[in-house]
Structure formats: structure tokens, C-alpha cells
């Protein structure tokens, strides 16, 4: 007998939700279909009505930008429209904050003659949004484009539309020397697209954080125990689950997904049914595992060292402070343990990148400064900052890092050194220069971990891939490279 077909449970709707009373027409030009599907689903769930054409019932029209809007709706029709014409960013911010935000900063204004068309920059209303290091970034914060690589490496400077985050500037706690440039006169930084109308990368909100948070803890535990294989298996599963446009209610919904094998399915089933995972609880109750995991979070202490420190009888970070066997770098990592393990908001990383670009240009005109890691992947916050550096002429990068570090120390930006090695002039280690250290955000004493990697021009692309990540990409890339 054929199995009985099961009917998918329709998502619950709230007629009194935050979008109640809205009749929305969503333009599909320059929007990823999956992204559009998620927006429609959320609008319907939260009280809105979706219209398939611009008719008299429509109260709100949404578009990525003016050019995309005008590809689908005529200028004359829009001029007669009496409702709101908004950037999709308004939807993103409402969903992120869980409430309706003011529409004013998101309006797209069009007149029949084509004059005075206002496409308000998404960065111009940053003060109207509440920043949260726990949220996914809005698309406006994730504009990155590899299409500009060659232009920047040739030393061309284009006019961009990034601006310093107004919330940070309004606090008034910055030293004057750290104000990098006038927001109204920004030059294009590497990998920022000069065309705000281009398609924006998108990461939907993590609707299954109950699962990914547990998997994230297991990653840290297995990594601390030196079990890279198991750690990596959870590392592969998390991004697959994060991107799902629905909340997992049954393991049958994810059986077909990559990186979700039998063991992962069993974990997901237990979490969905009970809200917890017995495996994680066992680890957290085990003193040795708990202690080694804690020690492994100290910069410079790996799994083997953490295990040795446990065997010596240490159980707390205060115990480690009394151990004379720690290296200088490990002692620094221990001293600033809380600082280093604090997430860095995206807008702060953006300002620091601009500061570094300005300082670097004063030392070596034409130098390319790119912040990689989770920042370049579009995350809302970063654990540290990975700065990848090169120069388009293929030779001027030699000796640059020492001058750069000295200048940043003189400015009190770099505070403590962890690793400093130069190979460009000796011709060793592929000529890559490295600096790892701690820095402070302008006007604060909170330490952040920052890494500089200076690559020769001919291998810069490989360095950019390696230091952008994530770990899953790096491992797969290296496997394919060596297989080839």
C-alpha cells in the first residue's frame, strides 16, 4: 500500500500582526526569488495582504531601489499612486526589530517628469534603527562585490555611498585623530560596490536558533578537545540550518539536506521534541570537558595545552593566572579574556576598516586594505578582525607592515602584540608578513583581536579566500586544490 500523503501544516497567521491593514505589492526585479518568497510569507503571517498587481487596493509598494522599481512600474503610474513606495529594507528592519518602524527614511520618491527623484541611501537612516550584535545584518550593511577587485588593485578611486555609522559619531567619545573621513566625501573601499542598485547578498533570519546555538556549543567543545572531525561536522550543518526559511518542526523536513546525516537528524529530533540535547548536557556536567573547553577559549591555548593545564590541577582562569609556564601571548590572552571574547558590532568594524585604509594610504599610496572574515561574509558582528593587505605593483608591500604597525601603535590603536613575523624581504613563507595583536576601538579601552596579513600581489587572491572563510569553504577549497 502506498504511504498516505501528509498535508503540510500551513504557517500560522496573525490578523492583528504588525503588518495588519497593509495591502502590499512586491516588485520582483533584482530580488532573489527565495528572498521574495520569505518576505511574502512573513507579510501574510503578520496580517498583510499580498496583491499581485498595482491596483487601487494597494497601500504599499516595495522595491530594491528606484531603477528596479521603474523596470516594473511606469513613472506616470507611480506618480499617481497615493500610497507608500518603500525600500525592502523597511520590511527587513521591521522583521528584525519585531515592530513597525517609521516609513519616512525608506521612501522612494518619483515624479512624472523624472526630476528630483530621491533614492534615499540605506545608510542615511542608520540612526533610526536599533543595532544588535545578535541580529543578522540588513542588506545595506552587506554590500560587497568582487567585481571591483581589479579596479581597486589598479589604484582607481571611485565615489562610494558608505558613511560612518551616525550612532557611533553621535556619542562624542571618539578622539579626533580617529575620525577617518567626511561621510559626504567617502572614497570607495576595496570590495564595496559603487552601484547601490546591484543585487544585494542576503541571509535570512535564523529561525532555528534553538538548534544552531546547541550545535555551536558542541563545536567549541569538540574543538577544545582536539576532535576536529566532529567539530567540523557541526560546523557544516549550522549554515545549512541557518538559511532555512521555516522553523523545523519535524526531522523529516531536513533529511534531504546536505551535511545533515543520521547523527545530525537524531540530534535535531531530540532538540525539536525536548528543547535540549542530552549530549551537550553530559559535556557541560563533565568537569574535565567543561574546564578544558574554558581554557581553550584563552588566546594561544590549544587543546593539548588545555589538557596539560587541567592535569596540573587548574580548574579556573584564576588558577591559570598563577601558572608561570604560560607564554607571554597566552598571558595577554588570559588578561583580556572577556574583551577578546566579546563580539564586535559590524558598524564598528566598518569604521575601523576605514581608519586603517586612511592610515595605510598615508604610508603607501595605492595599498589595498580589506577586512575579511565574518565581516566580509556579511555578519552582524565579528569575533575578531582579519585584515588582508596587498599592493597592485607587486613589490611595494615589502616592508610595509612594520611601518604600518608602528604608526598604529603611535596612535594608541594597537596596544598589545601577540605575533609579529616578516617574510617579504627574506623571501620565506611565500613572502607573507603577519601581525596578530590587540587593538582598541577609538575612544575605548576594550581590547579587540586583530590580525594583519600582507600578501604579495600574485597570491593575494588565495589569501583573500583563506581569510574570508568560513572554515567549511576553506577546507573544501584546499581539498579541491590539492586534489587538482
Active site residues: 267
Alpha helix ranges (H) inside 73-138: 75-80, 89-97
Q: Which sign does the torsion angle of CA 88, 90, 95, 96 carry?
A: positive
Q: How many CB atoms lie within 10 A of CB 434?
A: 15
The contacts of residue 312 (CB under 8 Å, 6+ apart) are 323
d(CA 386, CA 364): 20
Identify which of 402, 433, 436 has the alpha carbon closest to the alpha carbon of residue 417.
436
Phi first, then psi: what are they for 399, rounded to 5°? Answer: 80, 0
Strands laid side by side in the 414-421 sheet: 368-371, 385-390, 447-454, 433-440, 414-421
d(CA 269, CA 421): 48
d(CA 115, CA 20): 34
Identify which of 380, 373, 376 has the alpha carbon closest to the alpha carbon of residue 348.
380
Q: Counting beta carbons within 10 angstroms of the beta carbon of residue 7, is it exposed (0 to 12), middle (13 to 18) or buried (19 or more)?
A: exposed
The contacts of residue 414 (CB under 8 Å, 6+ apart) are 405, 408, 437, 438, 439, 450
Amino acid at each position: 500500500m502506498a504511504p498516505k500523503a501528509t498535508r503540510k501544516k500551513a504557517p500560522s497567521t496573525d490578523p492583528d500582526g504588525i503588518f495588519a491593514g497593509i495591502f502590499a505589492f512586491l516588485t520582483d526585479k533584482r530580488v532573489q526569488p527565495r528572498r521574495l518568497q520569505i518576505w511574502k510569507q512573513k507579510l501574510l503571517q503578520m496580517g498583510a495582504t499580498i496583491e499581485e498587481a498595482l491596483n487601487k487596493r494597494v497601500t504599499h509598494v516595495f522595491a530594491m531601489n528606484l531603477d528596479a522599481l521603474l523596470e516594473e512600474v511606469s513613472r506616470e503610474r507611480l506618480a499617481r499612486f497615493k500610497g507608500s513606495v518603500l525600500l525592502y529594507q523597511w520590511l527587513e528592519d521591521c522583521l528584525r526589530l519585531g515592530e513597525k518602524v517609521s516609513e519616512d527614511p525608506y521612501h522612494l520618491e518619483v515624479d512624472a517628469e523624472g526630476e528630483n527623484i530621491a533614492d534615499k541611501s540605506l545608510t542615511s537612516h542608520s540612526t533610526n534603527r536599533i543595532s544588535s550584535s545578535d541580529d543578522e545584518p540588513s542588506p545595506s550593511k552587506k554590500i560587497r562585490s568582487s567585481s571591483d577587485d581589479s579596479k581597486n588593485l589598479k589604484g582607481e578611486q571611485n565615489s562610494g555611498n558608505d558613511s560612518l555609522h551616525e550612532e557611533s559619531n553621535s556619542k562624542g567619545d571618539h578622539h579626533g585623530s580617529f575620525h577617518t573621513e567626511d561621510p559626504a566625501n567617502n572614497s570607495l573601499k576595496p570590495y564595496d560596490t559603487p552601484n547601490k542598485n546591484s543585487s544585494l547578498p542576503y541571509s535570512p533570519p535564523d529561525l532555528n536558533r534553538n538548534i544552531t546555538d546547541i550545535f555551536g556549543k558542541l563545536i567549541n567543545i569538540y574543538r577544545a578537545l582536539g576532535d576536529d572531525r566532529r567539530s567540523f561536522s557541526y560546523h557544516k550543518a549550522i549554515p545549512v540550518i541557518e538559511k532555512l526559511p521555516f522553523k523545523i518542526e519535524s526531522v523529516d523536513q531536513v533529511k534531504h539536506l546536505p551535511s545533515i546525516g543520521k547523527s545530525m537528524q537524531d540530534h535535531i529530533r531530540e532538540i525539536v521534541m525536548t528543547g535540549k540535547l542530552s549530549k551537550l548536557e553530559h559535556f557541560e556536567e563533565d568537569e574535565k570537558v567543561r574546564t578544558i573547553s574554558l581554557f581553550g577559549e584563552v588566546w594561544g591555548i590549544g587543546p593539548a595545552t588545555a589538557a596539560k593545564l587541567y592535569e596540573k590541577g587548574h580548574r579556573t582562569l584564576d588558577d591559570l593566572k598563577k601558572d608561570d609556564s604560560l607564554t607571554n601571548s597566552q598571558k595577554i590572552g588570559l588578561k583580556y579574556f572577556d574583551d577578546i571574547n566579546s563580539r564586535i558590532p559590524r558598524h564598528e568594524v566598518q569604521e575601523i576598516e576605514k581608519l586603517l585604509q586612511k592610515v595605510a594610504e598615508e604610508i603607501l599610496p595605492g595599498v589595498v586594505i580589506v577586512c575579511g572574515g565574518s565581516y566580509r561574509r556579511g555578519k552582524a558582528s565579528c569575533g575578531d578582525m582579519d585584515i588582508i593587505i596587498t599592493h597592485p605593483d607587486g613589490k611595494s608591500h615589502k616592508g610595509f607592515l612594520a611601518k604600518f604597525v608602528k604608526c598604529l601603535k603611535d596612535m594608541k590603536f594597537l596596544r598589545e602584540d601577540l605575533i609579529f613575523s616578516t617574510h617579504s624581504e627574506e623571501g620565506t613563507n611565500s613572502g607573507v608578513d603577519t601581525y596578530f595583536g590587540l587593538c582598541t576601538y577609538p575612544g575605548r579601552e576594550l581590547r579587540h583581536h586583530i590580525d594583519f596579513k600582507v600578501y604579495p600581489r600574485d597570491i593575494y587572491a588565495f589569501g583573500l579566500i583563506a581569510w574570508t572563510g568560513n572554515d567549511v569553504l576553506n577546507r573544501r577549497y584546499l581539498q579541491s586544490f590539492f586534489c587538482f
